[in-house]
Structure 1
Amino acid sequence: MNDFLFWAAAVGPALLAEGLLARYEVLAYGAGWRRPVTALPQGVPYARGAAPDAPPEAYLVYLDGIGKRRVRDSRDGGQLVKAVLASAPELRVLGQVQPYSPLADPLADRPVWAWLRRRVGLLLFLHNVMQIFVAADRRYRPLYNRAVGSQIADQLRLAGYRPGSGIPVVLLSYSGGAQVATGAVDELRARLDAPLLLIMFGGFHNGANDLTRVTHVHRLTSANDRVERVGTWLFPQRWPLLRHSAWNRAVRAGKITVHRLDPATHVGPRSYISPDALLPDGRSHLDRTTDTVVALVRAQRAETEAARDGTS
């Protein structure tokens, strides 16, 4: 009982503070009080992989889970990005986008958060969790979608993407990054006129964002992923009964394909991107997720080229 009271006293005020502060960034963006950050730290490239002087097969933007708090990749996300680059050097991959900051301001680089990280590391995760719910809130969702969609578009341009080029843009998202990926669609289409492919694994999102302008959505999931399952229960737009929600309209339109990655878990030593958990065929969970992502991207590129040849 004493332990419970201790944690309630410690975490309760933190949750209240985060609930009040989580909206600040999106409101600051909307009011024009602060400009989004576009420059990257010295030594950090705008993209890795295929050379920028020749059109790549596709641009892939990785939107990490709630562990993302700096420009450089998180530990697990970095493993996936490296594996994708090793398997598909024809891609240009961006991993620096800040899904949980409408101002594109890395959380770990802010002085107050750097101080807190050394003392109350849990707050860094609470911040990003709260940002997911701000992005899902119907009052703030349009503004949040525009802010992060613009951030992604800016980073793609700086990485060499030419609007109207027809080169596919792939939004690869993990966990809460799926909320950001689905929300960025309209802004990216408006600013880049790019074919958009969404690949989400362990996707935690509310299902309210319109997916009409997406080429396709691939949902990588597992029966052992409890976090994703909570998302399907928590948000009514994901319930099959709400047939007119954006997610269910996309399901009926055939835009969503489900890929089973059992027995992967959302996090931990048997997660989707674990290099240690092994499958019966000898591959690691990381290998299987990488192989699946690369195969889907290449299939989309082939479809794009076939469609272009058919209309030429």
Structure 2
Amino acid sequence: MNVFLLWACALGPVLIAEALLARYEVLAYGAGWRVPVTKLPEGVPYARGAAPDGPPDAYLVYLDGIGKRRVRDTRDGGQLVKAVLAGAPELRVLGQVQPYSPLAAPLADRPVWAWLRRRIGLLLFLHNVMQIFVADDHRYRPLCNRAVGSQIATQLTLAGYRPDSGTPVVLLSYSGGAQVATGAVEELHNQLRCPLLVITLGGFHNGANDLTHVEHVHQLTSARDRIERVGTWIFPQRWRLFRRSGWNRADRAGKITVHRLDPATHLGPTSYISPEARLPDGRSHLDRTTDTVIEIVRARRSAPAATDDPVA
């Protein structure tokens, strides 16, 4: 009991500080106190894969989970992005978006956080977790959605995307990245007027965001993914009872397709992106996830474009 109280006393102030910092970024963006970062570090391209003059079959934006701290890092060392690029060279892929910073500023590159990371690495994850819950708060959600949607639109433009070109944009999101992907839809539609496809991989999101302007949502999930299942429990907008939530409206409109990736887990050696865990057909979990993503994107070419959500 004493140990529990000690942890509670230690983490309580940290969580409060993190919540305030997460809100500060949103408010700083909304008030115009700080300008979002657009320039990437030297040597980091705005996109990889197909050349922008073509145009590519699609632009794919990868939005990582809460482990995302800087431009270059991903939870799997970039293996999923590399695998998609290798398997679908016709795509132009962006992996540098900072989904948990309204100001598009890499967390690990900030001097204070760099110092903390060497001593209390858990704080980096708590910060990104708090950003998800700030984005769930109806008071801050519109600003969060506009900030990250604008960040993605800017990065796509710098990568060669032309508004009104008709080239599809695919938002591939892992875990908490699904909250960012679903929230960015409206701003991307407003700025780029592009066909939008959302793919969630173990998606942890509140279900409140409007998906009217999404052609389709592909939900990659597994019965062994406990973290995604927690999201369906704790966010009321994911419950069928809330029929007018963005997620449930999209579901009734036939815009959501579920793809089972059993027996993958959310994290660990048997996760969706594990290169070691093997399926009966010999493929790794990473291979199957990559194949599924590529099949979804390529199938979109022959499918008719969806219209806006007609379900009230």
What corresponds to 2:10 in structure 1? Answer: 10
Note the C-alpha offset of 1:19: 1.7
CA distance in 1, matches of 2:9, 2:249: 44
Match of 1:147, SS state, is helix
- The residue identity in structure 2 corresponding to 1:167 is T
How much does 1:304 deviate? 5.6
Q: TM-score normalised to the size of structure 1?
A: 0.96
Residue 244 of structure 1 deviates from its aligned partner by 1.6
Does 1:294 find its partner at 2:294?
Answer: yes
1:190 aligns with 2:174: no
Shift of 1:51: 1.5
SS in 2 for 1:23: helix
Instruction: Report how far residue 2 of structure 1 moved.
Output: 4.0
Whether the aligned pair in 2 keeps the contact of 1:69 and 1:108 (CA below 8 Å) is yes
TM-score, normalized by length of structure 2? Answer: 0.96
- Describe how 1:36-55 pairs up with structure 2 within 5 A: 36-55=36-55
Alpha-carbon distance, 1:10 to partner: 2.5
Which residue of the partner structure matches residue 120 of structure 2? 120
1:34 maps to which residue? Answer: 34
| Letter paired with 2:58 | A
Number of aligned residue pairs: 307
**RMSD across aligned C-alpha pairs, in angstroms?**
1.5
Amino-acid identity (%): 82
Provide the C-alpha distance between the structure 1 equivalents of 2:88 and 2:31, rounded to a whole number of angstroms: 41
The answer as to 2:253 corresponding to 1:258 is no
2:231 maps to amino acid: G
Match of 2:66 in 1: 66
- Which position in structure 1 is the counterpart of 2:234? 234
Conserved? CA contact 2:64–2:75, under 8 Å: no
Residue type of the partner of 1:65?
A: G
The ranges of structure 1 where at least 4 consecutive aligned residues each deviate by more than 2 angstroms after the TM superposition are: 1-10, 301-305
Report the Cα distance in structure 2 between the residues aligned to 1:77 and 1:199, rounded to whole angstroms.
20
1:22 deviates by 1.3
Alignment partner, residue 129 of structure 1: 129
Paired residue secondary structure (1:199): strand
Q: Look up the match of 2:82.
A: 82
1:231-289 residue CA offsets vs partner (Å, 9 max, x unmatched) = 00001000011112111111110000001111111111111101111111111100000
Quick one: which amino acid aligns to residue 93 of structure 2?
V
Q: Which residue in 2 is equivalent to 1:160?
A: 160
User: 1:110-168 deviations in whole A, cap 9, x for unaligned?
Assistant: 00000000000000000000000111110000011000000000000000000011000
Q: Which runs of 5+ in 2 are unaligned?
A: 308-312
> How many Å apart are 1:174 and its aligned residue?
0.5
Q: In 1, distance between residues paired with 2:110 and 2:278?
A: 38
Letter in 2 for 1:177: G
Distance in 2 of aligned mates of 1:75 and 1:126: 15
Aligned partner of 1:243 in structure 2 is 243
